[in-house]
Structure 1
Amino acid sequence: MLRHCVKFMLVLCCAFQLKAAPIQAGDVLEVSLADLRPTQAVISHDQVNYKLASYRTNSKKLLEDFCEMSGWGKKVEFSTESSLLRPDSYQCLGKEKGKKQKKSEMNTVVLGPDNQLYLTDGHHGFSALYDYVGKELKVSVLVTEVFNQPQHQTSGNRHDFFAVLVAQGLSWPKDANGEALSAEQWPQQLGRAALHNDPYRGAAYFLQGGVWKKPKPALPFVEFYWADYLRQQPELAFTGYKSAAALLQWLERIHAHLLSLKATTSISHGFTAAELGWTGKADYQRLDQLLCAADKPGRLGLSLQMRGMALSCG
């Protein structure tokens, strides 16, 4: 009898120890990419393709990006046999040296009323990892808000939850054509297969740093605001992925159009050009190096090569 009582107490004790503590805002979690739900339905495939191309030619870049997204900085120790799926095959030196994890560098999530984790930042970076490494990859994320409390457990809470995310600027609720999405239309996974391509979002990405720069403090979805505006200009209609030269000409037209704006021009969602980082400064050198930088593919060139498009440099 005593033996059974002791056994029962040990089982009960272990059960209490194994019970996970409730997730709270400020927690850092390690989860697989498959466990994350997107809060936007579109990304720039060209931006992700550029990342993938750089990873193919530079394995150190892949590990550096991963360590940085994990909050440990870019310094990494690795070998030619290192793999993100084998954490013991590389070292994020910031972590190994006992440095404090930088939460400001980490991608963020919220815990939904359905106890799912919803990614609110980092869709491009994590989609690149999803497509290059796989959905089973474990990543570190920062919880910024929790929505699974009793007051959120109401009928129709999914719609209410998404409405709150949009109102708080934590979600982009439009498709690749700029049309509004319902809660049922939101994708269930990361990666280019699930998140549709917005070429105008890609245009904003490749022109960023010249004719416009990211405003400070950071403004969520600033590239999407620019994309919304560009999509509405008939003379800037996307010409498709016919050739590298044609795509560059399209970006040159966008660049010229942006130069013609004024600081007070209304762009999107009540923001002016100046508020979205417009500089009004030409950046022809950046344009010239998008396809080819010297005799090597530039950022856009690498991205287009991932699509199988022909490119001649040098």
Structure 2
Amino acid sequence: MNGSGTRARLPRSGALLLAGALAAGTVVAGAGTGAAAADPCAGSGPLPYTCAQPGDLIDVRLGELHPTQAVLGFDQVFYKLGRYGSDRDEAAGGVNKRFDDWCETNGQEEAATAGPGARLDDPSSFSCTVPVGQETPDTIAPIKTAVVGPGGKLYLTDGHHTLTSFLEGPDGSPDLRIRLRVTDNFSSLSTPAFWQRMTEQKKVWLRDENNRPLGVDRLPDRLGITHFRDDPYRSLVYFTRDIGYEVPDGATEFLEFSWGAWLRGEHDTKAYDLTAPGPYLDLVKGASKSMAALAPDAVVDDGRTAAQLGRIDAWNGGKKETGGEFAKLGRPLSDPKPGKLAEALDYKARVLPVPACTRTVTGPRNGPLTVTDGVTCLDRAAQRGPVVVRPGAALVVTGSTLDGPLQADRAAAVHLCGSRVEGPVSVSRSSGPVRVGGPGCTANTLAGPVVLTGNTGGVLLAANTVDGPLVCSANRPGVDDTGRANEVGGPRTGQCAAL
């Protein structure tokens, strides 16, 4: 629901108070219609995003946000998700890191309390150290930023990794709320003029996972890890933070991507096993040393120098490999305080591999689709008509809509991620994995009944919205929701009775 969110037209301090109240669950009615609609920004009532001014804080749903980049560093997100899903913080007498991260991102410093059963989607279950209305410039600084575009759509310009981690986390969904700071309001521009302005002001990253140019039509239309491509160099830069570079004050958008573009000419990620901590740590060491060795005035990317991008004065803060941030990064999972790399790789190991596509469907497609062999991938497709998967064939659906039933019997594999199906879903007797949500796979919306029966390759069914009944039986070794319950509108039976 883009452009339909509201904010109150108040003095800046009042805007802060309203945004915090919204984050705490206060309901504010939508803007009215009638005579007052001639000037939608007049008065003191709730107003649309088109009325937001630079510096305003607005309360938003994650599902309202439009990305301004097509790629993420998946391993950075995996680190966050591994940490968010762990009970290590609670076992040590603290609160889970996701509450600290949410409070910081919301301009409220860090978590103060989070009782048993606390959830990000229930703000009454936890508190932050800085109450709403008592924010300072320092606590507001970490709030992520957005630009208001044509039609009041919100375009995220910072925080894609953080907010994707919230959405994919244990209690995340498109309805999870957070505050953003508006940097610009370009809502009066036409769509072509808007993208021209965004490009000129470097508020959009138009390169793909291989650093090749792409058009704005290839940007994702929503958050969720499934909707992005993975850039391993972006993850690499994240792990070199405070070892080879430091985020400078007033950092520009997409700073890490600029470092990643430069590292492509210095280090080949394909020469390293990025599922194993030893080789990955070797890559981080080499890359960070290359960054620190640059002259301050060396041009890194797009005219920006190493100094402007935060090149560190001394590698690892002048400490040896056995100390400093590099040593912290390399701590194993068995350590009382594991390093980011170990937690990222532990979560990464839970992400099911996707078979290579032998046929890919993108964009609109009308008529029945029958998959008889190989691996058919629907990638950002709009399939109108039934989909049938024959024995031995595989189907991978990512970021797509299916207007019709989906039926698979004795398939080799079925992957359904970040998609919507307007019709019944039936998957039976599959010999390989059946994944409907789960690690690395954004949840789906399934508008009809779902039947999963007799599958023997494992079934993941996590965090989805199922409007009809959910029936699961005779699946081996069972059905796993990975701790993220599904929202089911109809009865749940069999193995899915508790999911």
TM-score (norm 1): 0.83
Match of 2:75 among 21, 35, 46: 46
Match of 1:135 among 168, 171, 174: 174
CA distance in 1, matches of 2:267, 2:98: 38
Which residue is equivalent to 1:289?
328
Q: Does the 8 Å CA contact 2:149/2:185 hold for their aligned counterparts? A: yes
Q: Does the 8 Å CA contact 2:100/2:111 hold for their aligned counterparts? A: yes
Q: Does the 8 Å CA contact 1:231/1:237 hold for their aligned counterparts? A: no
SS in 1 for 2:312: coil
Q: Does the 8 Å CA contact 2:243/2:288 hold for their aligned counterparts? A: no
Which residue is equivalent to 1:5?
none
Which residue is equivalent to 2:290?
257
SS in 1 for 2:300: strand
**1:1-314 equivalence runs, <5 A:** 20=47, 22-25=50-53, 26-57=55-86, 58=89, 59-95=95-131, 98-100=133-135, 102-132=139-169, 133-149=172-188, 152-153=189-190, 157=191, 159-233=192-266, 237=270, 239-279=272-312, 281-283=314-316, 284=321, 285=323, 286-292=325-331, 295-296=334-335, 297-308=338-349
Q: Does the 8 Å CA contact 2:146/2:155 hold for their aligned counterparts? A: yes
Q: How far does residue 298 in structure 1 lie from its aligned partner after superposition? A: 0.8
SS in 2 for 1:135: coil
My pick for the range that moved more, 166-175 or 289-298, is: 289-298
Which amino acid counterpart does residue 88 of structure 1 have in structure 2?
Answer: S
Q: 1:233/1:27 Cα in 2 relative to 1: closer, same or farther (>3 Å)?
A: same
Q: How far does residue 30 in structure 1 lie from its aligned partner after superposition? A: 1.6
Q: 1:268/1:79 Cα in 2 relative to 1: closer, same or farther (>3 Å)?
A: same
Q: 1:122/1:238 Cα in 2 relative to 1: closer, same or farther (>3 Å)?
A: farther
Q: 1:121/1:238 Cα in 2 relative to 1: closer, same or farther (>3 Å)?
A: farther
TM superposition outliers: structure 1 runs of 4+ over 6 Å: 11-19
TM-score (norm 2): 0.54
CA distance in 1, matches of 2:36, 2:253: 44
Q: Which has the higher strand share?
A: 2
Q: 1:307/1:264 Cα in 2 relative to 1: closer, same or farther (>3 Å)?
A: same
Q: How far does residue 81 in structure 1 lie from its aligned partner after superposition? A: 1.7
Which residue is equivalent to 2:401?
none
SS in 2 for 1:94: coil
Q: Does the 8 Å CA contact 2:106/2:178 hold for their aligned counterparts? A: yes
CA distance in 1, matches of 2:308, 2:81: 31
Cα RMSD of the aligned pairs, angstroms, is: 2.8
Q: Does the 8 Å CA contact 2:108/2:140 hold for their aligned counterparts? A: no
Which amino acid counterpart does residue 51 of structure 2 have in structure 1?
Answer: I
Q: How far does residue 27 in structure 1 lie from its aligned partner after superposition? A: 2.9
Which amino acid counterpart does residue 66 of structure 2 have in structure 1?
Answer: R
CA distance in 2, matches of 1:13, 1:53: 52
CA distance in 2, matches of 1:130, 1:208: 24
CA distance in 2, matches of 1:191, 1:41: 11
Q: How far does residue 294 in structure 1 lie from its aligned partner after superposition? A: 9.0
Q: Does the 8 Å CA contact 1:236/1:254 hold for their aligned counterparts? A: no
CA distance in 1, matches of 2:267, 2:103: 42
Q: Does the 8 Å CA contact 2:245/2:288 hold for their aligned counterparts? A: no
| Unmatched 5+ stretches in structure 2 | 1-32, 38-42, 90-94, 351-499
SS in 2 for 1:174: coil
CA distance in 2, matches of 1:200, 1:43: 9
SS in 2 for 1:276: coil
Q: Does the 8 Å CA contact 1:261/1:280 hold for their aligned counterparts? A: no
CA distance in 1, matches of 2:267, 2:236: 15
